[in-house]
Amino acid sequence: MSVDNKERSRTPKKPNPLLLIAGLFFLGIALALLLFGGRLFGENSSADETADFEQIPPLSGVNREGVPLPNSGAPLNVGDMAYDFNLPNTEGNVVALSDFSGKPVIVNFWATWCPPCRHEMPEFQRVYEAHADDDLVILAVNEAEQTEAVTAFFYDEMDFSYTPLLDEEADVGAAYGAVGLPTTFFVDRSGEVTAVHRGGLTNAQIEGYLQEIIP
């Protein structure tokens, strides 16, 4: 090797300016995600403690049965205001979530063909009776079954006394994010979702969730 070649081999290489620019660019992105990531991706903020139940966001539009459809498609999470809805009961009378302003509400999505649903529903009846003085409301939203099937199971077979509703096109369940059955939402007196439970519930679990909506 010549002397000139040895000298060149000892000379440190200058950094590539394009690599420096790219590094600074990705560093800036990382810092932005770290500082503002929640805002960039629409992270839910906690609900206003003074929110009125009447301000719960309604589902928008209606399907061919007159049932309101989702306004955003975003499933509900803890801290969200529950979507209002209008659904018929087994007698054909329309019931809205906002009818129960100021009351604690359990919204349970279920079906007669769902074994975990059938197993947990007697526990809802026990809780409903135990908290009659607390104005507890339980709305059992059935997914896309015929009125006759719901009536036969709910009243004739089980003799429940809380309220079954018919989500005939499963639109309300989709709006709430009840992708599997059973799924249960606990809604406090202001209309805020305090808990979401996917799967069957025991009596102890229901009572535990009720601590958030019944003082």
How high is the pLDDT of residue 21? 58
Q: Which residues pair with 183 in a beta bridge?
A: 109, 198
How high is the pLDDT of residue 215? 80
How high is the pLDDT of residue 177? 93
Q: Are 166 and 143 in contact (CB under 8 A)?
A: no
Helices (H), the chain: 3-10, 17-40, 115-130, 147-151, 171-176, 203-210
Strands 137-143 and 105-110: parallel
Other CB atoms within 10 Å distance of the CB of residue 8 = 10
* Token code pair at residue 130: 């135990």
Residue of 180, 183, 190, 179 lying closest to 215 (CA atoms): 190
Question: Taking the model in full, what pTM does it have?
Answer: 0.70
* Token code pair at residue 40: 């960039």
Q: Are 138 and 206 in contact (CB under 8 A)?
A: no
Buried b (16+ CB within 10 A) or exposed e, 80-98: bbbbbbbbbbbeeeebebb
How high is the pLDDT of residue 35? 47
Q: Are 182 and 110 in contact (CB under 8 A)?
A: yes
Task: Show the beta-strand stretches assigned E in 40-133.
Answer: 60-62, 68-69, 86-88, 94-96, 105-110
How high is the pLDDT of residue 18? 56
Q: What is the pLDDT along the chain (215 residues), one digit of tens a residue?
A: 544 544 444 555 555 555 555 556 556 655 555 444 443 334 443 334 334 455 556 654 444 445 445 554 578 999 999 999 999 999 999 999 999 999 999 999 999 999 999 999 999 999 999 999 999 999 999 999 999 999 999 999 999 999 999 999 999 999 999 989 999 999 999 999 999 999 999 999 999 999 999 98
Q: Are 79 and 46 in contact (CB under 8 A)?
A: yes
Q: How wide is the angle at C-alpha 109 spanned by C-alphas 65 and 112, nearest 5°?
A: 90
How high is the pLDDT of residue 202? 97
Q: Which residues pair with 89 in a beta bridge?
A: 165
How high is the pLDDT of residue 179? 87
How high is the pLDDT of residue 74? 76
How high is the pLDDT of residue 19? 54
How high is the pLDDT of residue 75? 84
Residues in CB range of 19: below 8 A, 6 or more apart? none
